[in-house]
Amino acid sequence: MSTDPVLPPGMSAARFARALAAFEAIVGAPNVCRGGAALAPYFDPFAPVADARAFAPSAALLPAGIDEIRAILRVANAARVPLWTVSTGRNFAYGGAAPRLAGSVVLDLQRLNRILAVDENLAWALVEPGVSYFDLYAYLREHGLKLWVDPPAAGWGSVIGNTLERGFGYTAYGDHAAAQCGMEVVLANGEVVRTGMGALDAGTLALSSWPLYRAGYGPSFDALFTQSNYGIVTKMGLWLMPAPPAYVIGEIQFAHEDDLGVIVDTLRTLQLRGTIVQHAVIEGAIRRAAGIDPRTRWYAGDAPMPEAAIAAMQRDLGIGRWNLHYALYGEPAVIDAQQRIVERAFAPVADSRAMAKRYTGNEEPQGGGDRNMAGIPTMSAFRMLDWRGGEGAHVDFSPLCPADGRDAWRQYSLVKARAAEYGFDYYGGFTAAGRALHHVFAAIFVRTDARQATRAGDLLRALMSDARAAGYGVYRSHLLYMDYAAAQYDFNDGALLRLAQTVKDALDPQGVLAPGKQGVWPAAWRDRRGYT
């Protein structure tokens, strides 16, 4: 894969060189990546296209703080250089740190990495973009604070980056956007805004109710900065889960493929009644197995894994065709009672097998998935990359699914059949959050194989089209299909996207911030829509 920089569209090399010199004067030469190994991390590591230059950056800048960000914005506005903000840029499977518009300058905020405050009693933290889940977890441990983080699948990602993309985790605080409270944002014109109670300048954080009450007074803006290109988020408050006195981690294995419907319906009732309040996960057999061994142990062919091989794999590993992973947190007597309710609810499903372990608040489980449910970040999710051998990569198709057994079965059947047509196994599962499920299917491919990579990209597009025809929409998408996903939200001839663009043009008239993110193009770059 070539990692040569690409100029911003329509900009001459000489003009760009002048802009880069101005950026260098702001951040210092060591904090400008112009090409080669320094720029390599800003390309999409898992690009589902033959040529990753479709999303190539022109350069990357690593500012040290808000003043430098504001100075960069002054230059970008004057020279019309498109910027692409990342916190740590580990949004793998959706594009990594790479920009939507080739030739953008990546603004990498990893040097803004302070944990500004943590309040144990009120259970919140205020962090900068460069703080990862591992960092926050280590800080809480070091300071002996009885608070948990809610890690996403890969703990190395940024707390702010994941929250802004509306990522999710596996504890009772699994809805990251819902646990966010208060932001500091630098707008395209350099204005620094604090949202909610943060606008009430309290002098010191200790006196502030910024991370406590999201709304503040008047119109509320936090959600406007999630999955958007309206600003550069430089601080964020988030609520943390008080460490529970005890917890149960349970797994129920279901033997049959068509158990999916009853699992979803039973789980929904348990979640809506408040018995299970965390984000429980329903993993397909292949996803469960991929955390243990690669597929060649059961099947060496190139075609999707046959049913007989899946059955053998289930038997060998002692796993279900579907595997429900859940947790209960709280007082021992309460969670013991909840555990009995959960087991009773699923007992009627023929050939199901329930296992659970209760931990005291100080104990730690061992397996990666279990650790995530105990608020411990891991990198165990990366084992999936070994599933097909070679240098593994994946791109994800993530439709939102009503928490109804019929919908889950419909989506599953649709995805499994289409994936098989393109030569991919159904590697997927559902993360359940009450009324809705995040259905995530990963097309796993060998990244050095351009044909496989392109097929994975083609499959994503086919799946999005199938899903839309069936009435479903995705909650997140790879750079390649941001326009396609946005166009699917088409009520009243795309009124939502028109509104998003109106706001974009008002806030960012030169179109310097992340053009094309989530399909929202500023006037200056609108002709690039759909173009890769």
Determine the longest span between alpha carbons in the chain, in angstroms.
71
State which H helix or E strand residue 13 sits in. helix 13-27
Q: Which residues contact 145 (CB under 8 A, 6 or more apart)?
A: 118, 120, 139
Packing angle, helices 405-421 and 260-272, rounded to 10: 140
For residue 527, the minimal CB distance to ligand ADP (Å) is 21
Of these, 157, 211, 250, 377, which contacts ligand ADP (CB under 6 A)?
157
Nearest to 96 by CA among 393, 454, 419, 528: 393
By C-beta, is 164 or 243 nearer to ligand ADP?
164
**476, 481, 484, 528: which is the annotated catalytic residue?**
476
**Residue 305 Cα distances to 352, 424, 427, 463, angstroms:** 23, 8, 11, 19
By C-beta, is 246 or 442 nearer to ligand ADP?
442
Provide the mask over 12-31, with x wherever binding to ligand ADP is found by CB under 6 A and - wherever it is not.
Answer: --------------------
Q: Convert 489-501 into a string of H (helix), E (strand) and C (coil).
A: CCHHHHHHHHHHH
Q: According to CB under 6 A, which residues from 207 to 266 bind ligand ADP?
A: 232-233
**Residue 327 Cα distances to 244, 251, 264, 277, angstroms:** 12, 9, 16, 8
By C-beta, is 388 or 517 nearer to ligand ADP?
517
Nearest to 89 by CA among 56, 142, 45, 53: 45
Q: How many whole angstroms separate alpha carbon 316 and alpha carbon 294?
A: 13
Provide the mask over 173-212, with x wherever binding to ligand ADP is found by CB under 6 A and - wherever it is not.
Answer: ----------------------------------------
Of these, 165, 259, 370, 396, which contacts ligand ADP (CB under 6 A)?
165
Provide the mask over 75-94, with x wherever binding to ligand ADP is found by CB under 6 A and - wherever it is not.
Answer: ----------xxxxxxx---
For residue 120, the minimal CB distance to ligand ADP (Å) is 25
**475, 489, 526, 529: which is the annotated catalytic residue?**
475
**94, 412, 427, 472: which is the annotated catalytic residue?**
94
Pairing of strands 246-254, 59-61: unpaired
Under the binding rule (CB under 6 A), the answer on residue 45 touching ligand ADP is no
For residue 209, the minimal CB distance to ligand ADP (Å) is 23
Residues across the chain: 532
Nearest to 94 by CA among 486, 397, 306: 397
Provide the mask over 106-145, with x wherever binding to ligand ADP is found by CB under 6 A and - wherever it is not.
Answer: ---x-------------------x----------------
Q: According to CB under 6 A, which residues from 472 to 531 bind ligand ADP?
A: 514, 517
| Catalytic site includes residue 476 | yes
By C-beta, is 90 or 447 nearer to ligand ADP?
90
Applying CB under 6 A, which residues contact ligand ADP? 85-91, 97, 109, 129, 157-158, 160-162, 164-165, 232-233, 514, 517
Give catalytic residue positions. Answer: 94, 475-476
